[in-house]
Amino acid sequence: ERFRFTAKFPREVSHEGDLRANLESALDFIRLMAPLGQRVSPYWLQLPASFGPQRLAELEQFLREIDVMVAVEVRNQAFFARGAEEKQLNRMLHGLGVERICLDPRALFSCTSRAPSVLEAQAKKPRVPLRPAAFTDHPQVRFIGHPQLAGNEPFMTPWIEKVAAWIEEGKHPYVFL
């Protein structure tokens, strides 16, 4: 009964053009997921690295129009620079009750394998610093792992402690591996 699905908005919504112009496609996707009811929570909006601070007003308007719980994953380096742009993003998300996904790719990038699958994953995934934050009662962690199970332990152990602390605070975190 407590199992939840997280539905990621399709690429045509998140990566192709202005988010506001893609609002109807986003709403179509939400309607498609509607039979799952409350089991879909939250929806993920994964933005491309090209989505920068100059588009924050677009993001804010889109989020105000969507009537579902949303978590946002940003990849633009300006949102990880601890500057005004990151603060503006965080204030906006927090004010709207929207979670910022804590993206953790460290384990993947610690891998020195030259295997094609590892190189492909490293080329596709963003290399961003860790931002462990909880803006709502549903913090989101996206852990991108090392291909060897043992290689994940030094990166995963601190998350176990962080997630446990969130639970003790009464939060309901989501962890994606």
pTM recorded for the entire structure: 0.91
Which residues partner with 72 through β-bridges?
45, 100
The per-residue pLDDT for 111 is: 94
Q: Is 144 helix (H, G, I), strand (E, B) or coil?
A: coil
Q: What is the pLDDT of residue 1?
A: 79
pLDDT at 143: 96
What's the confidence (pLDDT) of residue 93? Answer: 98
Q: Is the dihedral of CA 40, 43, 62, 19 positive or negative?
A: negative
In the chain, which residues have pLDDT < 70? none
What pLDDT is recorded for position 41? Answer: 81
Q: In what order do the strands lie in the sheet with 5-8?
A: 5-8, 40-46, 70-73, 99-100
Tokens of 136: 């709502």
Question: Which ranges constitute the DSSP H helices of 52-152?
Answer: 56-65, 84-96, 106-110, 116-124
Reported as a single tens digit per residue, the pLDDT across 131-168 is 998 999 999 999 999 999 999 999 999 999 999 999 99
DSSP 8-state symbol, 42: E
